[in-house]
Amino acid sequence: MDAMVTGRMSQSKKEAGNAILTQLGTNASAVINRLYDFIIEQGRLPFAEPTALDAAEIQRRIAVVDSIPLMTGNRFATMTDDEIRRERLGVV
């Protein structure tokens, strides 16, 4: 026996979404079923959830970037973008 899932949204959102789903050859029921299948199988939502970074994670990421060695053998490594453009164009 099938069960019904009810959700609320604006009429305009429903119409716009249904129009796209029709173009894609599917409908809201099929999409909701696939969403539930994914959640049941994976135990998570199929899209990224925003997360806040704590101070420790920010510092860890900064350390990773800072650990990347500079290209010291490259003469452009210490130049600004404008200096590089002028050098490549031969403008002094």
| Residue 22 shares a structural domain with residue 61 | no
Domain match, 18 and 46 both: yes
- Do 46 and 71 have their domain in common? no
Measuring CA to CA, which residue among 40, 31, 26, 38 is closest to residue 7?
Answer: 31
Number of domains in the chain: 2
Quick: pLDDT tens for 2-46. 899 999 999 999 999 999 999 999 999 999 999 999 999 999 889
Q: What is the pLDDT of residues 68-82, one digit of tens each?
A: 777 667 777 778 888
* Structural domain span for residue 9: 1-50
10 and 45, same domain (yes or no): yes
Same domain? 2 vs 42: yes
pTM: 0.52
Among 73, 76, 77, 78, residue whose Cα is nearest residue 87: 76
Please check whether residues 46 and 75 belong to one and the same domain. no
Identify whether residues 60 and 30 lie together within a single domain: no
